[in-house]
Amino acid sequence: MSILDNLKKIKTELPSEVTIVPISKTHSPEQIMEVYAGGNRVFGENKVNELVEKYELLPKDIDWHFVGHLQRNKVKYIAPFVGLIHSVDSMRLLVEINKMAKRNERIINCLLQVHIAEEDTKYGLSSDELKQTLSSDAYKNLTHIKVVGLMGMATFTDDMEQVRKEFRSLSVLFKDVKSNYFSNSNDFSILSMGMSGDYGIAVEEGSTMVRVGSIIFGDRSYGNK
């Protein structure tokens, strides 16, 4: 099957309201163009340098999402064009994104990343930190970012009940935050959870956006750098 067929297959499996974000990291511009030619316009990358290189090379109507850990000193490179940042995990990062968005005269859509996995290696805010952030005056003063939802990554494990439990906890938190902090706006609508190994469970638990790489583009350990 071609990579475009892989994407089409996932599309037929999922409800139409779930957005599929093909994660193209390590894969070539030619491979991305194959998926682009099939009509897909959204792609995700997890490294700033790689994202900027691909942005410069590829058609400008691509909606580029950033999904990796973002260092504050690199926000300026993606601020002119990034469509959605999935991985905002601190107030300081949000402040920097706001500053660079303002400099570029745009509003940048952001997801706040929540720590749901058991490992302490995964980035993200705790639910308390999330609520503190959203209640703070500093947050209310940010004019050039829009928080449009939450993102989370489950523990890397074969224990699918564990994964389901983590996604479910994020889904509950999402609804709680939506009704307590965004009750008078429809902007808060994205729950980004699910990757190649667990997107089915994520969607069952309420995901509205899945970030899938290897099941579309193939294994990252072979070929393309």
Ligand X SMILES: *Cc1c(COP(=O)(O)O)cnc(C)c1O
Residues near ligand X (CB under 6 A): 23, 25, 46, 67-68, 195-197, 211-214
Q: Is 80 exposed, middle or buried (0-12, 13-18, 19+ CB in 10 A)?
A: middle
Q: Minimum distance from CB of 96 to ligand X (Å)?
A: 19
- d(C-alpha 174, C-alpha 151), whole Å: 9
Whose Cβ is closer to ligand X: residue 169's or residue 196's? Answer: 196
- d(C-alpha 114, C-alpha 4), whole Å: 31
Whose Cβ is closer to ligand X: residue 24's or residue 98's? Answer: 24
Q: Which two tokens stand for residue 180?
A: 């307590």
CA 92 to each of CA 51, 99, 139, 142: distance values in angstroms, whole numbers, following the listed order:
22, 11, 10, 12
Q: Minimum distance from CB of 151 to ligand X (Å)?
A: 8
Q: Minimum distance from CB of 79 to ligand X (Å)?
A: 19
Residue nearest to ligand X (CB): 213
Q: Minimum distance from CB of 141 to ligand X (Å)?
A: 29
Coil, helix or strand for 62? coil
Whose Cβ is closer to ligand X: residue 133's or residue 194's? Answer: 194
Whose Cβ is closer to ligand X: residue 10's or residue 147's? Answer: 10
CA 52 to each of CA 74, 78, 81, 92, 191: distance values in angstroms, whole numbers, following the listed order:
11, 7, 9, 22, 25
